[in-house]
Structure 1
Amino acid sequence: MAILTISRQFGGGARAIALQVAQDLGYEYIDRSTMFKDISSEGPRWGTYAKDFDEHYPNVWERNDWSFKAFVALIQSLIYNYAQRDRVVIAGTGATFLLKGVPHVLRVRIESTMEDRINRVQGDQVINESTARWIIEKVDADMARSMYVIYGKEWDDPKEFDGVFNSSTQTQDAIAEEIKKGLAAKEALRTKEALDALNLRAVAAKVKAAILTDPSFTVSYLDVVPKEKGMPRYGLIVRGFVHETDDAQSIKEKVRSIAGDLPLEFDIQYQMLPRFGHFDFR
């Protein structure tokens, strides 16, 4: 089945719409809490990092820290894993940007007026209007910066979505029906070629996460991407800079163990000193 990603404003009513679509179609609903719970299974360090990331926007030093890059790689690998399950609604966490170019993914955004958002936030918590507005503006600013840092995209750019809906001018049922129609149209694009391309991107993300979260490697740059339009017969390209002479060969061996029979091309260079210093995952 087609996949749905939803970009949402805090208090915009998107969660109720996403849950309705998921229930009507028998889809699995996945949001930040699901991902952060799953990422905790990778180790206590990542669970702590997920909690910190959820509570504050990373500063410039944190964004350049390799732990942050590894955390993002883990999140992205999880998103691809969810997408491979089929019949999923993925809310937030940048899935809209990460899955761009996958033909059978419907990418939508839910917006609402500030007045309605304040009312929703106040309805969930006993707070006054000014506090609700402050929370909304802070969450919006943090999410906008995070999406720009990670994906280089403006999180509210309508050109990034297949559809933008306003829960203040449209009913929940009307939006849900439009989304379901969109998913039905996207289902026709769920071809073997589309699935092969998605699976290849998922392997690339898995490889990247595995290398970046391995404390035995000292790297300052790593990229793993499909070589040619996501077609498996062309395989993956692995590029990076390492700072231990033995790491290049060890990384190649680990990549091969994950990628299996996929063709692989490596461009891993040795540099004497890491740009941002050594990191310690322990």
Structure 2
Amino acid sequence: MNARRVAAGSDQLQPRENRRGLNAMAILTISREYRSGGQEIGTAVAERMRYDYVGKERILSDLKGQGERWIALLNEVDEDRPTLWDRFDWEYRGLMALMESYIYDRAMGDRVVLVGRGANFLLEGLPHVLRVRLTAPVEQRVERVMCKDGVDRKTAARLIEKMDNDRAAFIRANFHRDWYDVAAYDMVFNSAVQTFQEITDIVCGALQEKAGKLSLEAWELLRGRMLAARIKAHIATNPKIRIPTLKVFFDGKSIILQGSVRRMADLQAIGEIVTVSAQGTPVRNELRYRL
């Protein structure tokens, strides 16, 4: 990622009350069991509310400018169960940092439906974000897979089990959270009990109630998280920087960098990235230099 290129768009980071008051529209995140209706409901809500729908295809399109390496890797490992090798692989960690930064960038613009990829965990604690979970019994989802994907019953059941297990493992490995925990969502729907249309109606109504609830404090929290994620992505996707451990987060006041570096050149390069990308937000650099 190019830190200076991102900085050039810093006018988008001005406090929202300076642009249109604290009247931001809401954000919808959707966590979904495989073939429980996430795509259908998400696109229906986006069309009715005039929101952007951000699923895999949109992400791939938006990230093309980051390079073919990341597009190829995203196609390969998106929401899959990471292997032990993946967890320590430079490219995998870089992709995850890039994805988090992308989600925060999209959230800064509100009016967006974000599907999967841990968005509900990244955006928790923000009053204008509605976090929805979609489920359905396996048997009903088997029927949907057979119809939509043209496979037999046994193959459909195996595919559902694999996809659900992969998504749960993806969340556990990258966010250290439980994908199935209903407390992580504002609304949980069973699409075997309610139709896609009924769920869409309820979600649209809830989004209208969420609209305009973004406070200045919440805006600053979102902005701080976004900047921290952007800095982390710049560092994690830079092949010239070797950093064994890295944690970058916003504590409500400052962007905190923690981890260890083994070369002074890396420490200097990280400092330059922070200078360009922090946008005036206080930074506490707790990185340790270790031989």
Q: Does TM-score exceed 0.5, indicating one fold?
A: yes
Between 36-45 and 159-168, the greater mean CA deviation after superposition: 36-45
State which of 107, 115, 121 in structure 1 corresponds to 2:131. Answer: 107
Offset of residue 55 of structure 1 = 8.4
Offset of residue 193 of structure 1 = 2.2
Conserved? CA contact 1:14–1:110, under 8 Å:
yes
Instruction: Give the match's secondary structure for 1:239.
Output: strand
Cα deviation, 1:91-125, whole Å, max 9, x if unaligned, reads 11111111111221100101111122111111112
**Which position in structure 1 is the counterpart of 2:66?**
42
Structure 2: gaps of 5 or more residues: 1-24
Offset of residue 265 of structure 1 = 1.3
State which of 152, 164, 167 in structure 1 corresponds to 2:188. Answer: 164
1:262 aligns with 2:281: yes
Offset of residue 73 of structure 1 = 0.3
Offset of residue 250 of structure 1 = 2.3
Aligned-residue CA RMSD in angstroms?
Answer: 1.5
**Which position in structure 1 is the counterpart of 2:259?**
240
Offset of residue 28 of structure 1 = 0.6
**Which position in structure 2 is the counterpart of 1:278?**
none
Q: How does 1:127-142 map to 2 (within 5 A)?
A: 127-142=151-166
Conserved? CA contact 1:238–1:268, under 8 Å:
yes
Separation in structure 2 between the aligned mates of residue 36 and residue 78 of structure 1, nearest angstrom: 11
Offset of residue 140 of structure 1 = 0.6
**Which position in structure 2 is the counterpart of 1:116?**
140
Name the aligned partner's letter for residue 269 of structure 2. S
Instruction: Give the match's secondary structure for 2:124.
Output: coil
Conserved? CA contact 1:20–1:176, under 8 Å:
yes
Offset of residue 56 of structure 1 = 4.9
Name the aligned partner's letter for residue 196 of structure 2. Q
1:185 aligns with 2:209: yes
Structure 1: gaps of 5 or more residues: 273-282
Conserved? CA contact 2:34–2:160, under 8 Å:
yes
1:15 aligns with 2:34: no
Cα deviation, 1:108-165, whole Å, max 9, x if unaligned, reads 1011111221111111122111111111111111111011001111111111100100
Separation in structure 2 between the aligned mates of residue 54 and residue 198 of structure 1, nearest angstrom: 24
Separation in structure 2 between the aligned mates of residue 56 and residue 94 of structure 1, nearest angstrom: 12
Between 9-18 and 134-143, the greater mean CA deviation after superposition: 9-18
Q: TM-score, normalised by structure 1?
A: 0.90
Cα deviation, 1:8-32, whole Å, max 9, x if unaligned, reads 1111112111111111111110112
Conserved? CA contact 2:54–2:113, under 8 Å:
yes
**Which position in structure 2 is the counterpart of 1:152?**
176
**Which position in structure 1 is the counterpart of 2:240?**
216
Separation in structure 2 between the aligned mates of residue 3 and residue 226 of structure 1, nearest angstrom: 20
Identity value in percent: 36
Cα deviation, 1:196-234, whole Å, max 9, x if unaligned, reads 21111111100000011111211011122223x2xxxx3
Conserved? CA contact 1:39–1:75, under 8 Å:
no
Separation in structure 1 between the aligned mates of residue 148 and residue 196 of structure 2, nearest angstrom: 18
Instruction: Give the match's secondary structure for 2:85.
Output: helix
Conserved? CA contact 2:63–2:71, under 8 Å:
yes
**Which position in structure 1 is the counterpart of 2:22?**
none
Cα–Cα, structure 1 residues 55 and 21, in superposed 2: closer, same or farther, change >3 Å? closer
1:202 aligns with 2:216: no
Separation in structure 2 between the aligned mates of residue 133 and residue 192 of structure 1, nearest angstrom: 47
Alignment length (residue pairs): 267
